[in-house]
Amino acid sequence: MSVVRSSPPPCSSAVLCNVECEPSASQAAENLRFSKLCGISAARLHGSRKRLVLCDGRARWNSLKPIKAKDDDDAGSDYSRKCSVMSNENVKQIKEMEDSDSLWNENRASFSGKNPCQVSNVGNSTNILWHDCPIQKRDRQQLLQQRGCVVWLTGLSGSGKSTLACALSRSLHARGKLTYILDGDNVRHGLNRDLSFRAEDRSENIRRIGTLYIINSQTSYDLTSGEVAKLFADAGLICITSLISPYQKDRDACRALVPEGDFIEVFIDVPLHVCEARDPKGLYKLARAGKIKGFTGIDDPYEPPSSCEIVLQQQQGNGFKSPCEMAEIVISYLEEKGYLRA
């Protein structure tokens, strides 16, 4: 049996990968010894090449980085070259390490998700524990073969945010990319049903959707605001938000809390008279008649982005690009910036 080792995961557990069992005279003894070491069935090892994590004295089939099944003849591949072959002596060393109290405790903390040093009080919650998991954003991104980000669509009611969000999601889905849409209308049916369209409630709407916990250091962290889009981006998804988000300061606050570059603000620059002429829900008509108060663009302000990643405008010939054409512009940007690969 040959065992190769890769770089350690965040929990510092020993990682064994591409465990390979060859039918040889020494195999039974090797399998027995290895399976005893790892606490797993020798039968599971036979003839398989898998990736193992040694943790808490047990072996875990590791999902940190999915490894495609490899043929024997690609032993000289990049991946194999990066791994160094472990001798029996190395296996013995791992066993010794594994037996030591410190590694045991470290691994136990990592895999239970609990770090005993991080009990804190946050807001009204006392004595709470920050849970870390060794599966991190980069592992999820590797799995999904994409980079998590927030595509923030902003524009007047009727400018085409929801339509573009759907077109984008469809196109990306067809390319095998995982997206999730957070649409203002939809989120206000549930999570944000308690919010109105007063300025402070609009801000709260954006705050809940757009931002997140900021971890200041290993031991202290602030609950700065809500977190939905960031959670999705952290999950490795391309999160598309579709909200009027009329105030610059609220959009800036969301941008500031997302890792540099991961907030892609897209302004759908459709003039008020066009949106009003479209008026698919009849809301502009009601607002003009004074039956809806504080309607964006009528008697409530919309502050266009002062600088943003993408502006989708009316074309010179007066027409607008189709939703699919607009989606392609956004997708080209994502492609160019590397969000469509891990």
Ligand X SMILES: Nc1ncnc2c1ncn2[C@@H]1O[C@H](COP(=O)(O)OP(=O)(O)O)[C@@H](O)[C@H]1O
Ligand Y SMILES: Nc1ncnc2c1ncn2[C@@H]1O[C@H](COP(=O)(O)OS(=O)(=O)O)[C@@H](OP(=O)(O)O)[C@H]1O
CB 213, CB 224: distance < 8 Å: yes
Site string for ligand X, 197-216 (x = CB under 6 A): --------------------
Q: State the nearest-atom distance from the C-beta of 151 to ligand Y, in Å.
A: 15
Question: Which lies closer to ligand X via its Cβ, residue 18 or residue 159?
Answer: 159
Query: How is residue 161 written in tokens?
Result: 């945010």
- Is the CB of 29 or the CB of 277 nearer to ligand X? 277
Which contacts (CB < 8 Å, 24+ apart) does range 189-194 have? 191/228
Going along the chain, which residue ranges are E strands? 2-5, 14-20, 50-55, 58-61, 84-86, 114-122, 125-131, 149-154, 179-183, 214-215, 221-222, 238-242, 263-269, 310-313
157 binds ligand Y (CB under 6 A): yes
Between CA 36 and CA 132 the distance in angstroms is 29
Residue 251's nearest CA partner among 239, 236, 266, 238 is: 266
Out of 148, 158, 236, 305, the only residue in the binding site for ligand X (CB under 6 A) is 158
- The window from 65-73, 132-140, 157-165, 215-223 that contacts ligand Y (CB under 6 A) reads 157-165
320 binds ligand X (CB under 6 A): yes
Q: How far apart are CA 104 and CA 94, in angstroms?
A: 12
Should residue 241 be labelled a site residue for ligand Y when binding is judged by CB under 6 A? Answer: no
Site size toward ligand X (CB under 6 A) is: 16
Q: Which of ligand Y, ligand X, none does residue 180 bind (CB under 5 to 8 Å by kind)?
A: none
**CA–CA dist 131, 114 (Å, integer):** 5
Closest approach of Cβ 169 to ligand Y, in Å? 15
Stretch of 11-19, 33-41, 92-100, 239-247 contacting ligand Y, by CB under 6 A? 239-247
State which of residues 205, 268, 270, 330 lies at the interface with ligand Y (CB under 6 A): 205
Binders of ligand X in range 59-98 (CB under 6 A)? none
The verdict on 211 binding ligand Y (CB under 6 A) reads: no
Query: With CB cut-offs between 5 and 8 Å by kind, which of ligand X, ligand Y, none does residue 295 bind?
Result: ligand Y
* 303 touches ligand Y (CB under 6 A): no
Residue 273's φ and ψ, nearest 5 degrees, are -65, -30
| Buried b or exposed e, range 84-115, using 16+ CB within 10 angstroms | eebeeebbeebbeebeeeebeebbeebbeeeb
- What gap in Å lies between CA 46 and CA 23, rounded to an integer? 8
What residues numbered 228-247 form the site for ligand X, per CB under 6 A? 242
Q: First CA to last CA across the chain, in angstroms?
A: 32
* CB-based burial label for 201 (10 Å; 0-12, 13-18, 19+): middle
Decide: is 246 part of the binding site for ligand Y (CB under 6 A).
yes
Amino acid at 319: G
Q: Which is nearer to ligand X, 64 or 266 (CB)?
A: 266
| 24 classed as catalytic | no
The site map against ligand Y for 263-282 (x = CB under 6 A) is ------------------x-
260-289 mask for ligand X (x: CB under 6 A)? Answer: ------------------x-x---------
Q: Which of 169, 245, 322, 332 is catalytic?
A: 245
**Which residue numbers are catalytic?**
245
Which residues in this chain contact ligand X in the complex, by CB under 6 A? 155, 157-163, 242, 278, 280, 320-323, 326
Chain contacts with ligand Y (rule: CB under 6 A): 157-158, 161-162, 184-185, 188, 197, 202, 205, 243-246, 281, 283, 292, 294-296
